[in-house]
Structure 1
């Protein structure tokens, strides 16, 4: 098992500080990729004349990549350490972004979905490695706050991604037009170059031992996964993460579509900027949530936020109009602490099972594929308003998980 190593801000050697800074930067990069999908759904729906269910396949292909490559990422991480898994993830991320160029030339929706799958396979490596590494760099008692602060850079990347997409990708949506499809080329080429550059810097930077040491042999066997599958509390965490990611991805993926139906005078580009506002609230919520965790446990705070988010999604699913749009936008602020808090609560006290445990939590991101497709189906059969009741039910599940952990005691 890789030991938990504390890295005090004042006393940490320069190499450790640089390594931590580069790791936190990863949260920005995958936030950019994740939320560009929300722009792509609106863009591809127009370019390829898709139904809501078909356009939702953008998220299905993307999060299927997470599901398929989380365990391979954990295997690399266990054998070679966090740093190697991160570099391999960045290489896959960059290659997937480059595939957008030939996909746009062929005007093929299937090719675009393949490119997204490759990007997600790289992000699975990154998330499997970066989240537990940040949680390990310090005391267990402050792990929730530390990971929430690191995750605050994720919505910053999301805002950059949505702004990039709204400016350059949603400028032209003529159905079946090669010019419209080509709008994705330069943004994704820029992302590929940035990702490859980041990988090169990481390769050249010395990381502390906690990031480069392999796991103990007993943590690299199939028996480790059998032990995890026999733990009801661990499985509850995986289930909660499945529901949370499905709710978050679903709300953001169909926000532009929801606004187009409920407030049609705004238009697609203005609706995309409302998504940017949502992401800004999400980022602010991370900082506010981290501050509140100094006064109350992460589980108790998440319980309050999840109940409130369930209520907001019910408002969006029943009232609609300006009130419904405002409820969906506001819900992002309360989602902010859920992913990292579920991650920390689920991995707590797993000891040598932490790395394989992290991989199965990343696999739970498949909720973004399954539940987004379900929302698209509900929208096609009923209405986009009714589809918002799906994330409402998901937040109820997250609240039940938080309630399970509200009396946890943590040792430093």
Structure 2
């Protein structure tokens, strides 16, 4: 009997490991796609002669999809399962990429924004399905480490994305006579390629076996004292943490190309600044791999609070000093951003039991911070200047510090 049980456990562990390996491709793809927005912002800002607030509508439409579609996505995953949710999410994201072709052909900013909303709706479904799936593929005690590991490959995608975009989109028109039509159409090829990749991934996921994770398994650890997912204080505070983290991360990435191009910072060309942005996202990738190791010795909440403190310090240095020092200080923030999203996510889902899918939907709704915070910072940048506007991410990181110290602890 013991031998049979051990063999079953070994088979299950092997199945979980295989599933984690396959899932890393999803994290990579949506990281690459999301970071391309940082290239679209300066590109379309020039094409359509936009101010900062208008340019930030790119992030607003993209991340608003998380707020609108997350709860329906949680319901869909609950009804259809993780695997089918992933396949549908990949297909919808592929359709969103295809819509860039008519948007560029018509050269209408509104169609670009609609395409981004559809694309993000698919990615929202992927996030709602994949993040809790990873947390449940093994021991609850190691959930933060597993999610940090898979998110490290998300960061690999965000590292490659800006370089990919700066070469194929920004450099495609660098040195050419100003031609708004050509500039708008330079996005068609890259996004058609992404659509093909997403559809191929959907086909792969439809053919491969993935282990079934019943939420009843996690319900064993749930004390059933709560009758609603909204009664979990650490989940709700975690949703605010996701809001502030994604808002800060997206704002910094969104403004970096314009920021580094300013004469009082580094005076770089948009193309060169776009390539440097890969360092910001690359730091997050390195930090996540390091974080997986550190979390074997340091509690996730403690590491979260420490990283938030460092980011506040880096932003204050950037605002006070300016010049190339400010640019490198902002780039360094990526390294300390690294463990924040997966750590907040896993801490917020801890102990939710059969409420896990709904909790994941709430957390993914909070990703709308990426829509709201950049627009607010854009308004600040238009009014008080780009450099002083970085006070907003400082406030966001202060809340994350609180969540790491105290807010993540469940209350009976």
TM-score norm. by structure 1 comes to 0.91
Which residue of 1 is the match for residue 319 of structure 2? 317
Q: Deviation at 1:15? A: 5.8
- CA distance in 2: counterparts of 1:175 and 1:371, whole angstroms: 32
Establish whether residue 247 from structure 1 lines up as the match of residue 222 from structure 2.
no
Distance change (3 Å), C-alpha of 1:8 and 1:182? farther
- The answer for the alignment partner of 2:364 in structure 1 is 362
Aligned equivalent of 2:197, options 191, 194, 198 = 194
Superposition TM-score, scaled by structure 2 size: 0.91
Measure how far apart 1:231 and its partner are: 3.0
Equivalent in the alignment of 1:50? 50
Q: 2:168 corresponds to which residue? A: 168
Q: Do the aligned residues in 2 keep the contact of 1:285 with 1:333 (CA within 8 Å)?
A: yes
Residue in 2 that maps onto 1:40: 40
Q: Partners of 2:139 and 2:155 in 1: how far apart?
A: 25
Q: CA deviation at 1:152?
A: 0.3
Q: Which shows bigger deviation, 116-125 or 269-278?
A: 269-278
**Structure 1 outlier segments of 4+, above 6 Å:** 6-10, 173-176, 406-409
The change in CA–CA distance for 1:284 and 1:104 in structure 2 (over 3 A counts) is same
Alignment RMSD? 2.4
For structure 2, the residue ranges without an aligned partner over 5 or more in a row are 1-5, 220-224
1:378-393 alignment to 2 at 5 Å? Answer: 378-393=380-395
Distance 1:121 1:382 in 2: 34
Tell me, which stretches of 5 or more residues in structure 1 are unaligned? 1-5, 219-223
Give the match for residue 239 of structure 2: 238
Helix, strand or coil: the match of 1:376?
helix
Structure 2 counterpart of 1:221: none
Aligned to 1:374: 376
1:119-144 Cα shifts (integer Å, max 9, x gaps)? 00001100011011111111111111
Distance across 2 between alignment mates of 1:273 and 1:371 = 24
What is the match of residue 3 of structure 2? none
Aligned positions, number: 396
Counterpart of 1:126 in 2: which secondary structure?
A: helix
Partner Cα distance (2:209, 2:316) in 1: 49
Q: Tell me if 1:123 matches 2:123.
A: yes
- Aligned partners of 1:9, 1:340: CA distance in 2, in Å? 26
What is residue 349 of structure 1 aligned with on the other side?
A: 351
User: C-alpha separation between the residues in 2 aligned to 1:175 and 1:75?
Assistant: 48
Deviates more, 1:317-326 or 1:193-202: 317-326
State the shift of 1:229 in Å: 2.3
Say which of 395, 401, 404 aligns to 2:403. Answer: 401
- How many angstroms apart in 2 are the aligned matches of 1:200 and 1:34? 22
Counterparts of 1:16-27 in structure 2, within 5 Å, are 16-27=16-27
